[in-house]
Amino acid sequence: MTDATDPSPSSSWHLSDIRELAHLLTLALPAAVEITEAVHQAVLSGMGLKGRDEGKTAGITGLVYKGVHGTANNLSSGINHLLSRLPATPPPHKIPETPKRAALIATLNGVLGDKLVEHHNALATPMTLRYQGKPLDWQAMPEDLPREGRVLLMIHGLCMNDLQWQTEHQGKPVNHGEQLAAALGYQPLYLRYNSGLPITQNGQQLALLLEQLLAHWPGELKEITIMGYSMGGLVARSACHHANQAGLTWLAHLANLIFLGTPHHGAPLEHAGHWLEQLLPATAYSEPFVRLARLRSAGIKDLRHGKVTETLAQPDLAAPLRDPRVPLPLPCSVNCYAIAATTATKRSLLADRLIGDGLVPLRSALGQHNEARHQLAFLPAHTLIVYRTSHMALLSSPQVGQQLLRWLSPLQL
């Protein structure tokens, strides 16, 4: 007899996962019908035919949609009833992990992570510090942790997880964290988090988690170095801000902060999504599609400007496109490094502003901004531009690995 929790040979999803995905579907079906009816009514309104309510059709059309709504709700109820009759399964976090399943769940969290939390979906990823592939347990810390620890914390990016630091270059395995551990004696730890949640929320959770790490380390935690890839760098900056505001003690142990392809001042793809949001309401026909445009997770929306704190400046009606953030400088007394990539062969205005690494503009990754108040003060010697390199290729770039060794080596190789 096949275990109900076993994945099929062609899929990494387990029955527990499918149960949670089906719950998402039951939420999406009525919403999809509602958007369709709103589009239909927008067309009818343009012909002078008003609906019974905002976004609701009237007459025979209204009766048809009422029936469709009922069918969708009945289907949702039927799915829930069917799920309740299925054999009991362990929750998703109790299922043995595979890299493929972890990647699928990480992608789902990046796109819909805030919705998963809102609806108490078990596929929502909790934030954990991980050691050798497993979450740290404060009550049973691993015995092989060094008593005088120099921790290297690796923070992944949007729609990713901690396993994806492990990659390849020309057929050879690459993990920047493991290379630094082998060469310089760091103890690598990895953060796993729900990248669809607001960056500030993840930053606050990380700040508290690092305070717990400091309290439960088996000896003296002498030094912390953080490497954040893409969104992970924003989460790190947010954590430093929260630690400073709350007077947490781990911040005094932070020696180095490395940003790898981090969109400090936003990413153009999210900018495009925001512009779509602003432009669509210009016509009645397009208004329903605004709801679809807004389905992006809170984490993705925070990439619009690289938002790392909750505080926003007062809106300037004369300059609606002005950066709305309150400036947040780099943390004091910490060595801060920035690595940016570009697919171009050399620097140019086009390459800096438009091309970048395919996802993050060069200037954004280097902390450069048109407004001086938002400029991040990286020392020239603490920045690196990697040419002919995409955003994802930063994780496997030998040039990046060599530069990290030079920066972090006590002898400054």
Q: Which of 51, 80, 115 is the last residue of a domain?
A: 115
Q: Give the pLDDT score at 13.
A: 61
What pLDDT does 38 receive? Answer: 47
Q: Which residue has the higher pLDDT, 385 or 71?
A: 385
What is the average per-residue pLDDT within 218-238? 96
pLDDT on residue 37 = 43
Give the pLDDT score at 363. Answer: 92
d(CA 245, CA 330): 14
305 lies in a domain?
no
Read off the pLDDT of each residue in 334-361 and give the average, rounded to a whole number: 84
Rounded to 5°, the CA angle 309-313-318 comes to 145
* Residues 50 and 103 grouped into a single domain: yes
- Mark which of 82, 115, 148 sits at the end of a domain: 115
Q: Distances in Å between the alpha carbon of 86 and those of 17, 70, 74, 79?
A: 13, 24, 19, 11
At position 203, the amino acid (one-letter code) is: G
Choice between 221 and 28, residue whose per-residue pLDDT is larger? 221
Judge whether 367 lies within some domain.
yes
Closest by CA position to 376, among listed 302, 304, 300, 306: 306
Q: Is residue 282 part of a domain?
A: no
Residue 74: how many other CB atoms lie within 10 Å:
10
Mean pLDDT (whole number) for 344-361: 77
Interacting residues of 18 by C-beta distance below 8 A, sequence separation 6+ = none
Collapse the DSSP code of 169 into the 3-class scheme (helix H, G, I; strand E, B; otherwise coil) and give the result. strand
Least confident stretch, 44-48, 116-120, 327-331, 362-366: 44-48
pLDDT class of 334 with cuts at 50, 70, 90: very high
Q: What share of the chain is helix, strand, coil (3-state, %, to 5)?
A: 45, 15, 40
On whether both 257 and 147 belong to a single domain, the answer is yes
Query: Do residues 139 and 212 share a domain?
Result: yes
Percentage of the chain modeled with pLDDT above 70: 66
Give the residue, 178 or 120, on which the prediction is more confident.
Answer: 178
* 143, 101: one domain: no
Is 400 a member of any domain? yes
In a domain, 272, yes or no: no
**Confidence at 64, pLDDT banded by 50, 70, 90:** very low
pLDDT at 6: 38
Is pLDDT above 70 for 106?
yes
For the segment 221-231, the average pLDDT, to the nearest whole number, is 97
The 10s digit of each residue's pLDDT in 146-204 is 888 899 999 999 999 999 999 999 999 999 999 999 999 999 999 999 999 999 999 99
Task: Please tell me the total count of domains within the chain.
Answer: 2
Which pLDDT score, from 0 to 100, does residue 39 have?
Answer: 45
- How many helices (DSSP H) and strands (DSSP E) are in the chain? 12, 10
On the CB side of 195, how many CA atoms lie within 13 Å of its CA? 28
- Taking the model in full, what pTM does it have? 0.79
Q: Which domain holds residue 44?
A: 15-115
Contact between 158 and 303 under an 8 Å Cβ cutoff? The reply is: yes
Average pLDDT rounded to a whole number, residues 383-388: 96
Domain membership of residue 277 (yes or no) is no
93 part of a folded domain: yes
Do 263 and 379 fall within a single domain?
yes
Question: Quick one: pLDDT band at residue 7, thresholds 50, 70, 90?
Answer: very low
Query: Looking at the domain assignment, is residue 313 inside a domain?
Result: no
Residue 4 has a pLDDT of 36
Report how far Cα 320 is from the mean position of its chain's Cα atoms: 26
Q: Could you identify the residue written with the tokens 């927008």?
A: 42
Rounded-to-integer distance, Cα 402 and Cα 182, Å:
13
Look at residue 138 and tell me whether its pLDDT is greater than 50. Answer: yes
pLDDT, position 81: 55
Do 111 and 161 sit in the same domain of this protein? Answer: no
Q: Which of 115, 136, 164 is the last residue of a domain?
A: 115
Exposure string of 168-187, with b = 16+ CB inside 10 Å and e = fewer, is: eeeeeebbbbbbbeeeeebb
Q: Is the pLDDT of residue 34 over 90?
A: no
> Residue 90: its pLDDT value, please?
63
Average pLDDT value for residue range 263-287: 59
Q: Who has greater pLDDT, 181 or 47?
A: 181
Same domain, 219 and 101: no
pLDDT value, residue 370? 84
Is residue 291's pLDDT more than 70?
A: no
Are 174 and 110 contained in the same domain? no
pLDDT of residue 18: 65
Asked whether residue 200 falls in the same domain as residue 261, the answer is yes
CATH of the domain at 229: 3.40.50.1820
Confidence category of residue 10, pLDDT binned at 50, 70, 90: very low
Same domain, 360 and 212: yes
pLDDT score at 356: 84
Structure confidence at residue 384 as a pLDDT band (50, 70, 90): very high
**381 and 234, same domain (yes or no):** yes
DSSP string over 263-307: -TT--HHHHHHHHHHHHGGGSTTTHHHHHHHTTS-HHHHHTTTT-
Same domain? 184 vs 329: yes
d(CA 157, CA 165): 10
